[in-house]
Amino acid sequence: MCFTQNFWNLVVSGLADGFLYALIAIGYTLVYGVLQLINFAHSEVFMSGGFASYFILNAAIGTSQPHGIGSLAFLALGTVGGGLGGALVAFLLERVAYRPLRRRNAPRLAFLISAIGASYFIYNIAGKEFGRNALEIPSPFTNGPVFSIFGATVQTYYVVIAVSAVIMLVLVDRVVAMTRLGKGIRAVAQDAETASLMGVNIDRVISQTFIIGGILGGAAGFLFGLNAGVVYTMGFTPALKAFTAAVLGGIGNIRGAMIGGLLLGIVENLGVACTQASWRDVVAFGILVLVLLVRPTGILGEQLGRAA
């Protein structure tokens, strides 16, 4: 087979892509859970996180090159900064683009149009304000092989992505499964009206859901930007793929989004090995079409309500 020779290397790079998809996909799936809405402006939440981390890091260290413990601090600050930026934009998005529509019981289509409108708005503002070229986030480490597994070399950048993503994914999984906020989110996802009878402030829970999705999406924007830089167009493709991942795993299901993200990343990389790099997106979106045709509920189906 075309990918057998390089199999484990492809899996490793696929996992790195997949972790980013998983982080972004959680934002889609959580929001879908509470609102039955695909937040198509989530791509710009991801992009905003990238820019937020860029500006925060620039203000904090300028162009000096961090090393040692400073590199870890740099990564932590970038992740937190990206998360905060993403959270802020996601929060505002819900307030400005969706809540007014909810108030007047607008039809589903209005939400979709509002999402697309908000997305274009943020996208173009970023392009106008931050320039048309990618801004480079100074790398806090020299990318090189760290260790090898099954003959595959694992680069520093992959380790950084995997460690940050696993921490965040485990955290969000536990928050949704165990905390009061998580129970509120799951209750609203299952039956919003009854949740309100239990004393759940639905508006607040929806806001918090956007914020959680925004934190993960924004942090992913930073991790993505570490490698590729940040630019106003950066959100479109990764977010659309994360949406694919969310559908693949079963929209509404948190663990499904994680599995879907990792799976998509791996399949996409293996697929490229069989074709050419330019087929990457064709492979990914081919999967979306296939899932929608064969199993529209995805791998795990819609189960945001379950304890995990």
Which residues contribute to the site for another protein (CB under 8 A)? 180, 183-184, 186-187, 190-191, 193-202, 303, 305-307
The nearer residue to another protein, 100 or 117, going by C-beta atoms, is 100
d(CA 217, CA 210): 10
The nearer residue to another protein, 32 or 40, going by C-beta atoms, is 32
Least gap, CB of 189 to another protein (angstroms):
9
Least gap, CB of 178 to another protein (angstroms):
10
Least gap, CB of 199 to another protein (angstroms):
4
The nearer residue to another protein, 186 or 241, going by C-beta atoms, is 186
How many whole angstroms from its chain centre is CA 147?
Answer: 27
Least gap, CB of 28 to another protein (angstroms):
20
Short-list 137, 129, 119, CA closest to 235: 119
The nearer residue to another protein, 202 or 283, going by C-beta atoms, is 202
The nearer residue to another protein, 124 or 201, going by C-beta atoms, is 201
Q: What are phi and psi of 119, to 5 degrees?
A: -60, -50
The nearer residue to another protein, 33 or 217, going by C-beta atoms, is 33
Tell me, what amino acid is at 188? V
Q: Tokens 């819900």 identify what position?
A: 94
Least gap, CB of 246 to another protein (angstroms):
18
Which H or E run contains 149? strand 145-149
Least gap, CB of 200 to another protein (angstroms):
6
Residue 181's Cβ-count burial label (10 Å; 0-12, 13-18, 19+) is middle
The DSSP-derived string for 218-254 is HHHHHHHHHHH-B-TTTTHHHHHHHHHHHHHH-TT-H
The DSSP-derived string for 48-59 is HHHHHHHHHHHH
